[in-house]
Amino acid sequence: MKISPRVISFHYTLKNNEGEVLDSSSGSDPLSYLEGSGQIIPGLEEQIALLSVGDKRTVNVEAARAYGSHDAELVMDVPRSRLPKSEGLEVGDQFAGRGPDGEAGNIFTVVKLSDESVTLDGNHPLAGVDLTFEVEITEMREATADELAHGHAHGPGGHHDHGDGHLH
């Protein structure tokens, strides 16, 4: 018997190894995702799948099952002359790179500046970081046919907000 993917909703607080809060759903709606759609990191999805509505857990996710290891090959020094806009750049600025065929590539973060070059890092900001999530499962339900067709969770009860202020 094939089990249909579920839509799971949960509240979370995300912390790094030092216990610093990096993100939280506190004060807002729970995060909802469609199982197996890649909407949340694999290590978290695997652990949440084992929980039930009302469960509260601490979930530790190693970097490899989160945003991956830090890849030194994605850190590069680029001459300022090769950037379309190098004046006014600051450490922490981000922009999208392009692949060889013009497709969307990594998001690059400026990590260092000199007079002649800019050091860019194409790793996710949390690459190489082990993460801790405090989670509370608020809802689990079977995905609707629309959600399965669209590949993502819709709003409460499976309704989809099309940006016109109405859930469909």
- Reading the block at residue 161, the tokens are 């907000």
* Residue 84 neighbours by CB under 8 Å, 6+ apart: none
Q: Is the dihedral of CA 80, 95, 74, 22 positive or negative?
A: positive
Q: Which residue spans of the chain are classified as CATH 3.10.50.40?
A: 6-67+127-156
Q: Which residue spans of the chain are classified as CATH 2.40.10.330?
A: 72-121
Edge-to-edge order in the sheet of strand 75-79: 75-79, 117-121, 104-113, 94-98
Contacts 24+ apart (CB under 8 A), 50-54: 51/135, 51/137, 52/137, 52/140, 53/137, 53/138, 53/139, 53/140, 54/136, 54/137
7-21 pLDDT, tens digit per residue, is 999 999 999 989 999
Query: What is the CATH number that goes with domain 72-121?
Result: 2.40.10.330
- Which amino acid would we find at residue 70? H
Confidence of residue 156 (pLDDT cuts 50, 70, 90): low
Average pLDDT on 120-125 reads 92
Distance between CA atoms of residues 122 and 105, nearest Å: 9
Confidence of residue 155 (pLDDT cuts 50, 70, 90): low
Distance of CA 140 to the CA centre of its chain: 20
Distance between CA atoms of residues 35 and 148, nearest Å: 10
Average pLDDT on 57-62 reads 96
Q: Out of 45-54, 59-68, 106-115, 127-136, which region has the weakest mean confidence (pLDDT)?
A: 106-115
Domain 6-67+127-156 listed as CATH 3.10.50.40 = yes
